[in-house]
A = this chain, B = another copy of it.
């Protein structure tokens, strides 16, 4: 068991991360504005900015005058400090995005395979090839990369492969690191999306956020007091495998009655089947294709699809109410099918109705629910950037697993 120790270095590290995130959010700013934005003392901000300038994370932009008093030196995140890459890997799909050091997207390349790419060597070859292509489009070289973040759906800590992940690839990432000659971090989408929301989204105004990912699989990322909650074995956030119905539907993970078995893609398909076992939607493919076909059918007025979507919205509202009861967040950031045009107007009122009716006491009083796009790539890039800052000694965050 890890001893809960926080050293003075951890505490300095926290101030640095707070300033880094504020600088990234601000665009061009000054030391005084950073002190205001973060609540840190001007002296602390000056020290931290000095460190960031020294390591090239921040850059000075010349004098900024506001007409009152003497001009002060502007600061910005040093986008040209280097490049950061994010790679998303499924067994038949791969995507690589190259970012500048301020997490601005420079180039994205994706590729599909006819048959699953399963051998670790083949997966590594594939990653290297697509990443090199993306670097080329971004006008960059491997040597420019401060780090590479690999996003593995259903890998690592997920109980089942909610999305098809090349078998065991995350056991062989040391080989990827050796091939690239670069630091590599790996994480799952729950943690990456939570990190993105913390760095680039609601984290700019709240420290108490839950991100909820709804797609083929279902899960949550928890931001508590300005940090992503990882848990004892890095598997916090598996809300998709918490109960909706004791002894209910068999979930892919082997447990009965999980949230995912009701509001994941397979769960919605089963809801349709329960309402109409002969419905044409059941003849089509599953996964995202089913999700789109299903929600489009509901929008077009298909009565079974409408009933199934309404029931799914009640399930979602109930499952979110559980997060509200246990964690009492300020913001829930939803990503996935509720943001489909066919769902926005139909689903969210039902979800809010459930939460308002069932959340304990005042738990939902100040709650905001946002529909946000998927930011997994930005998140894994932020994790890779944090890893770089750790390697140069600026921060002490544990970034797991360390490769």
- Residues of A at under 8 Å CB distance from B? 1-8, 11, 14-15, 18, 38-41, 43-44, 157-159, 203, 205-208, 220, 222, 224-227, 229-239, 241-246, 248, 253-255, 262, 315, 318-319, 321-323, 325-331, 357-358, 360-363, 365-368
Is A224 touching B224 in the complex (CB atoms < 8 A)?
A: yes
CB-CB < 8 A to A157: which residues of B? 360-363
Is B329 touching A232 in the complex (CB atoms < 8 A)?
A: yes
Which of B235, B325, B330 is close to A361, meaning CB atoms less than 8 Å apart? B235
Is B4 touching A232 in the complex (CB atoms < 8 A)?
A: no
Which of B158, B248, B362 is close to A360, meaning CB atoms less than 8 Å apart? B158
Q: Given A157-B360, A157-B362, A325-B241 in contact, is the A232-B6 Cβ separation under 8 Å?
A: no
* Copies held by the complex: 2
Q: Given A4-B206, A330-B1 in contact, is the A366-B232 Cβ separation under 8 Å?
A: yes
CB-CB < 8 A to A319: which residues of B? 243
Is A2 touching B330 in the complex (CB atoms < 8 A)?
A: yes
Docked Cα-Cα span, A246 to B267, in Å, equals: 15
Docked Cα-Cα span, A203 to B226, in Å, equals: 21
Please, could you name 9 A-B residue pairs with CB atoms under 8 Å apart, sorted by A?
A1-B205, A1-B368, A6-B14, A8-B43, A235-B361, A236-B326, A238-B361, A245-B245, A254-B358
Which of B41, B246, B365 is close to A245, meaning CB atoms less than 8 Å apart? B246
Is A326 touching B2 in the complex (CB atoms < 8 A)?
A: no
Is B232 touching A328 in the complex (CB atoms < 8 A)?
A: yes
Docked Cα-Cα span, A238 to B361, in Å, equals: 9
CB-CB < 8 A to A248: which residues of B? 246
CB-CB < 8 A to A237: which residues of B? 326, 328
Docked Cα-Cα span, A205 to B232, in Å, equals: 13
Which of B205, B231, B326, B366 is close to A220, meaning CB atoms less than 8 Å apart? B326
Residue of B nearest to A241 (CB): B360
Which of A18, A39, A246, A367 is most buried by chain B, counting CB atoms within 10 A of its CB?
A: A246
Distance (Å) between the CB of A263 and the closest chain B CB? 11
Is A329 touching B361 in the complex (CB atoms < 8 A)?
A: no
